[in-house]
Structure 1
Amino acid sequence: MISRIILKSSLPCRNTLPWRSLFSRGLADKPKFDAEMSEMYVIIANQHRHPQGPWPMILERAKKHLSSNPSPKILDIASGMGEPALTIATSLPSAQVVSSDVSEEMVLKAKSVAETMDNMTAVLANAEDLSQFDTDTFDMVTCCYGYMFAENKPQALSESHRVLKPGGTLIATTWDSNDLMSVQRDVMKVVLGRDPPAPLLNPLSLNEPGLFSKLLADAGFTNITSSTSTYPFNLGKDKNFQWKMLTMLYKDKIAELGAEDTAKHAFFDIVPKYSVIENGDLVIPKNTFMLTVCNK
């Protein structure tokens, strides 16, 4: 799937508006998940297959906790185009796996994947309202990088708890630290001349120590355990793609400010701090997530 100076006087005069007004106005709506962002999503998502990435580790935990269940029912929340639901369904052929997402576009793509499987379906569902599922339905709920984006996080976790059977397991990943975000933050510090607010689509919204565990406990979950893992993102050789990928959450604000040149100069100064070059590819090596497992 991000030095500090004041905006240059050569930028268009609209940049002289109070910075808070400009930024809050520009972030009134979340960035649109357009075709370009979808392409970037696919490239980043496929890197979650890294041995130390979330998909293999979710699968490992799922197998462990379902070892005595011959035919479990599993709900995967925020599956996007169908992962890690597909990984789980492929590895556990006796399971019934439901891939769910709030985006109609993503669900359509997940359905095309599910059609190739006998034990996987894909549905449109909002994590904050799973009323289409009965209480005590699933043996397991999985969620890879989804709960961070819920507007009402307690409600989303409460719904996950409700649809689990008593004793059922929740496996979730959330970002602990992410240098893709570090690059974007540092670029915006240059553009704005001060620390930027967090983006509305904030992958780090649950990285405060103890916050996610507290929300889980408040939702009724028990036996809460967490561990961390770090894996790299390979952004290839295309510098234009690297620029777009590493500024995508702020691209509308950069465009609104007319600050593309300032942001690009800052980007190419900043990105070496967080990256290494491997076989000509730009690699961001330090992206750490928290894997949390708990029970109803």
Structure 2
Amino acid sequence: MSVAAGSRVLDLASSFGRPAVPLAKELPHVSISATDLSPASAPLVHKYAASQGVTNVIAQTVDAQDLTDFSSNSFAAVTCSYGFMFMPDLDKALQEANRVLQPGGLLVATVWAEVEKCHNMQAFQGLAKALMGPKFSFTTPWPITDPHELQQHIQAANFEKVTCAEYSHNFQYPIDGFVRLLIGPHSQLKPMLDKLQAAGNNDIYQQAAQALKDVCATHGWLQRGAGVVHLNNTALLFTAVKT
């Protein structure tokens, strides 16, 4: 991404600092504002930035649907990596991104494609059904995966030159690391697992770990001898320009 020296870039839903910190390292003469709704994010961003020797990142607790902390027309670019799909009011978030962008400013955003193209979510789905039964109702945490529908939302927020490109992420995890990712302390499944454990199933976490390994093996993602899981996730990359 090409941004003039002295400009500002706003990263939404930064989590622990991606892409904010890598961008700051690539663009040392640009100020990056890393924002996330969770107060836990800012310390993680600062830690990540320090580990990379990056000093041009400012981390703040900000709701992407309410960017009143920032003036209109104040950023050369807005980035959002896998964040818009979780926002209750997508249109408001896009409108706010447009407001804080300078005329001609660039929006860059990524979202996951549908579950059928995301092995991570298929694994999550398979694990939930293995634990709760085949009738377990599963919905993706993101409501929109159709690129044309997303383009319409972006255009409705007064962006132009909207582009969409599909690309694949190939991941390799040690299987134990993937287990921690899906059933560890920050997993979306943790409340359900804790509830089952409180109801008397003291071995639920061990059962979940084995069930996840079985799901990965059934799909052909897990090389049991090597203990490595190979996953492919499809994502959509959007770019747009403020009118």
- Asked if the contact 1:179–1:274 (Cα under 8 Å) also holds between the matched residues in 2, the reply is no
Q: TM-score, normalised by structure 2?
A: 0.82
**Pair 279,262 (structure 1): closer, same or farther in 2 beyond 3 Å:** closer
More relative contact order, 1 or 2 (CA 8 Å, 6+ apart): 1
Equivalent residues of 2:76, 2:102 under 8 A apart: yes
**How do 1:42-121 and structure 2 match up within 5 A?**
62-63=1-2, 66=3, 69-114=4-49, 116-121=53-58
Q: Separation in 2 of the partners of 1:140 and 1:279?
A: 46
Mean CA deviation greater in 276-285 or 150-159: 276-285
Is the 1:230–1:286 contact (alpha carbons within 8 Å) kept by the matching residues of 2?
Answer: yes
- Which of 226, 237, 240 is 1:291 aligned to? 237
- The 3 A distance-change label for structure 1 pair 278 and 145 is farther
- CA distance in 2 between counterparts of 1:172 and 1:242 reads 25
1:212 equivalent to 2:129? Answer no
1:222 aligns with 2:157: no
Whether contact under 8 Å (1:275, 1:283) holds in the other structure is yes
Per-residue CA deviation, residues 88-130 of structure 1 (Å, 9 max, x unaligned), is 1111122111111111111122234456534221112110110
1:71-220 counterparts in 2 under 5 A?
71-114=6-49, 116-176=53-113, 177-190=117-130, 191-198=132-139, 202=141, 204-220=142-158
Between stretches 268-277 and 134-143, larger displacement belongs to 268-277
Q: Quick one: structure 1 residues 71 and 244, their matched pair in 2 at CA, closer, same or farther if it must change by over 3 Å?
A: same
Select 1:245's aligned residue among 181, 205, 230. Answer: 181
| Residues 278 and 287 (structure 1), Cα distance of their counterparts in 2 relative to 1, 3 Å cut | farther
Matching of residues 3-42 of structure 1 within 5 Å: none
Q: Distance in 2 between matches of 1:214 and 1:279?
A: 47
For 2:87, the aligned partner's letter is A
Following the alignment from structure 2 to structure 1, what is the Cα–Cα distance between the partners of residues 237 and 41?
Answer: 24
More helix, by proportion: 1
Q: Tell whether the 8 Å contact from 1:82 to 1:110 is kept in structure 2 after alignment.
A: yes
User: Which residue identity lines up with residue 25 of structure 2 in the other structure?
Assistant: T
Q: Secondary structure at the match of 2:188?
A: helix
Superposed CA deviations along residues 40-79 of structure 1, whole A, max 9, x for unmatched, are xxxxxxxxxxxxxxxxxxxxxx13xx3xx34321111111
Q: How many residues of Structure 1 are paired with residues of Structure 2 in the alignment? A: 226
Residue identity over aligned pairs, in percent, reads: 26
* 3-state SS of 2:189 partner: helix
Greater strand share, structure number: 2
- Call closer, same or farther: CA 1:114–1:266 in 2, change over 3 Å: closer
Which sections of structure 2, spanning at least 5 residues, go unmatched?
A: none
Query: 5+ residue gaps in structure 1?
Result: 1-61
Q: CA RMSD in A?
A: 2.4
CA distance in 1, matches of 2:39, 2:182: 25
- After superposition, the Cα gap between the structure-2 partners of 1:136 and 1:111, relative to the gap in structure 1 and judged at 3 Å, is same
Deviations 1:199-226 (A, max 9, x none): 6xx1x43313422212111111111101
Alignment deviations for residues 147-167 of structure 1 (CA, whole Å, 9 cap, x no partner)? 111121111111111100111
